[in-house]
Chain A
Amino acid sequence: MMTYLQMSILIYFFVVNGLYLLLFFFSCAVIIHYRSILRFRGPSEILKARVTPPISILVPAYNEEKGIVSSVRALLGLNYPLYEVIVINDGSQDNTLGVLEKAFSLRRTAHIYHREIPTAKVKVVYRSRLYPNLWVLDKEKEIVGKSDPLNVGVNFSQYPLFCAVDADSILEKDALVRVVRPYMDRFQEVVAVGGIVRVANGCRITNGIVEEVGLAKGWLPNFQVVEYLRAFLSGRVAWGARNALLVISGAFGVFKKQPVKDIGGYSTETVGEDMELVVRLHRRLRKQKRSYRIHFIPDPVCWTEVPHKLGMLGRQRNRWQRGLGQVLYRNISMFANPRYGSIGMLAMPYFFLVELLSPAVELFGYALFGIAIYLGAVYWEAVVTFLILAVWMGVFLSLLSVLLEEFTLHRYPRVRSLLKLLFCAVLENFGYRQMTAFFRLKGLYDFARKENVW
């Protein structure tokens, strides 16, 4: 029994790391291709074009009194020909609405809220006297989470594309111009485009604009920088290129409105509403046998503050893991189902076996080898070698991601930042990774207990 368990762990280890490597090398090719395209089609051309589709930016806000004004101001200053910003005040307990009213000289309008997707009641629609493209919707809070305010925004938006962003996220000035490029190529086919999300901790931010990219002083945010690089640059890029992307981060993604409306908008029954929406889009469009694309662009940057305390990080990872579990469970019929093509046969099994189960397998593996050594069922030399290889593999993948960033996108201009990142890529494998695995395992446990706390 012990032997089979040990063998299973080893096979799992080699398969998972093999997949990571495969995804990484595939991503390299995609990013290099993307960079080459940018040489010929810069943002300025899209900015000037009369055919560039207008975008509605949706900003759900709950108790965001402190940062909402600078966030909205930054959004109003984006480089894009035609867009509107819709802030949805989701029944905030603080003075979010008050500060918005004051800063942007909001006025009550008689605007009609057309409820195509069922949502909570919208009490008042405000419009800015200073910026006609700024709307603020004051809604009642009925459900915890971002789904309901996002659905309100989808209902209210007037343009064919919408961009969902977090109230505390910062978009780069050209982010929209870059992320819209796949729509310019094939508007009929593209239904969603995700962009890379980066860690804002340590960056110099003035009036909602990232002035200088840097790293935080503490280790925790910097480990997450490496983690984000690995997840976005080597994971999502590759899945996006195979049209099998299952997640577009809630912090930044541009969707075509009609297909989202057709599937009833964001689900209010899961804590992973961003992933759930994308999976449901895949499901519906594949069922209808429609030719469609869901893209991921490695360049348009959205900056977000990541947890700098362990407790916050733990809650965040727990929520992500529960969300993942819920989405996979709700769409279990797609798992290994050839009817859904690469989604059913590749992405779903990968997310189930690697993303969902990996914390359990990893921690179980540590325990198992410990027991095996204790019982004398395995040579300790073999276990130590395996552990060294496991850590070295993690270090290798993290280093590759950092180097890929440096070679292609080069967003950290200072040599010191690069060296620090490389060091973090090594260090995160000693303690941080195991700790996040534990948080995720706890999330998995909570999912099994059907805990649905945000």
Chain B
Amino acid sequence: MNVSNWPLAFLTLSILVSNILAVIVASLVVILVVTKVIGGLWDKYKRKRRALLMSLALEFLRTGNAEGKLPLKNLGWADALILKAILLELSEEVSGIQQSRATELYEFSGIADKEMRSLRRSWFWWLRAASAHDIGQMRVKRAKSNLIEALGDKNIEVRLEATWAIGHMGFVDTLPLVMESMSHFFKIAALRMDAFIFEMGAPALPLLLDLCKHPEWEIQLLAIHLVGEFKDPGTLEVLLSLLDSQDLEIRIAACKAIGSIGDPSGLSCVIPCMEDSAWQMRAQAAKQFGRNGFTPAIPGLLKCLEDLAWWVRLNAGEALSQMGKGGKIALKKALKSPDRFTRDMASQWLDELEATP
């Protein structure tokens, strides 16, 4: 085949492709312009209607007068959207009876039903996630089963929003289900679960302690982290037993959690960890002692300054520098060590101490 033999076909093809490209670009430009115009019009309409709907909603929240909410039933989609935004906004500002009235209005206006339908059926994950969030924020308790179902959603954002909603409404019994659905996303799960646990409070603790022995590694890790966040010395027994785990990650997580609690009885039991076979564990133990200024660990920390692992030496030195007078004396003592690395580390942290006002 020769290019010179098919100029007509090539010409036709090129013109066709060029036209298609031109149509696409032109359509995109038109869409851009239309989007901007519609956006402007919507903003204008929203400003106008928002004032009216806001005054009606506020009136109902203030008085609770059943007649006052009647105009807010069966609104058109645009007004319903504006009212939803208003109620979500108000729910963050009000509490007590006004909060309940906001939820009542949310249900009465039919928005709650729509959201629950969307959470169950929508094809788009962002709509399901938004529904889960809104239901949680408005505390629609009858949506509990929908939210539990959403914990199994294939999209992580929907699961995260459902988790938040469940926590916001304080359904403690759902904790194991929540943990199972979130455990593979450790950090983001821990982030959300921190808030979740905070909302639920102490009733969640027994369940969390059970989960610290869960057969699944990731759930166990998440539960240990969350138990630590409670800072309850009553949980030490379970956490201390985990220091003997075969799994290094679990041992480290338990050590961190004990450090977060900061109780001296718990920290005393961490002292042997400075002789753990894994350097990461020795370094972590040193860090927790420093964080809590736990002076009984000073002899062990001095030994750690001679450790073969640099990170252990670094953390031990830093820990000693955080222990006040006793630590400073220990660091000065380490300056006389026959080991050069120990001396270097001690002088580094003494220098830091001198420079810190």
Which residues on A are within 8 Å of B, measured CB to CB? 3, 6-7, 10, 36-37, 39-41, 45-46, 49-53, 107, 109-112, 114, 127, 129, 158, 183-188, 372, 377-379, 381-382, 385-386, 388-389, 392-393, 396, 399-400, 403, 406-407
Contacts and interface: CB of A to CB of B under 8 A. Distances in A.
Chain B interface residue count: which class? 35 or more
Contacts of A36: 125-126, 157
B215 interface: no
B161 interface: yes
Interface stretch (B43-51, B94-102, B341-349): B341-349
Contacts of B66: none
Interface in B187-203: 187-188, 190-191, 194
B19 to A, nearest CB: 10
A396 to B, nearest CB: 4
Contacts of B21: 392-393, 396
A382 B24 CA distance: 24
Contact of B10 (A40, A386, A400): A386
B10 A385 contact: yes
Interface stretch (B25-33, B73-81, B170-178, B320-328): B25-33
B191 A129 contact: no
B355 A184 contact: no
A378 B4 contact: yes
A382 B188 contact: no
B29 A403 contact: yes
Contacts of A50: 194, 229
B194 A39 contact: no
Contacts of A49: 187, 190-191, 194
A109 B157 contact: no
Contact of A378 (B3, B32, B185, B229): B3
A399 B14 contact: no
B133 A40 contact: yes
Contact of A381 (B1, B11, B25, B310): B11
Nearest to B31: A407
Contacts of B186: 186-188
B344 A184 contact: no
Contact of A114 (B4, B11, B310, B350): B310
Interface in B117-139: 125-126, 129-130, 133
Nearest to B6: A382
Given A36-B157, A385-B14, 9 more contacts: A3-B3, A49-B194, A52-B191, A111-B352, A183-B187, A385-B7, A385-B11, A396-B25, A403-B28
A41 B126 CA distance: 12
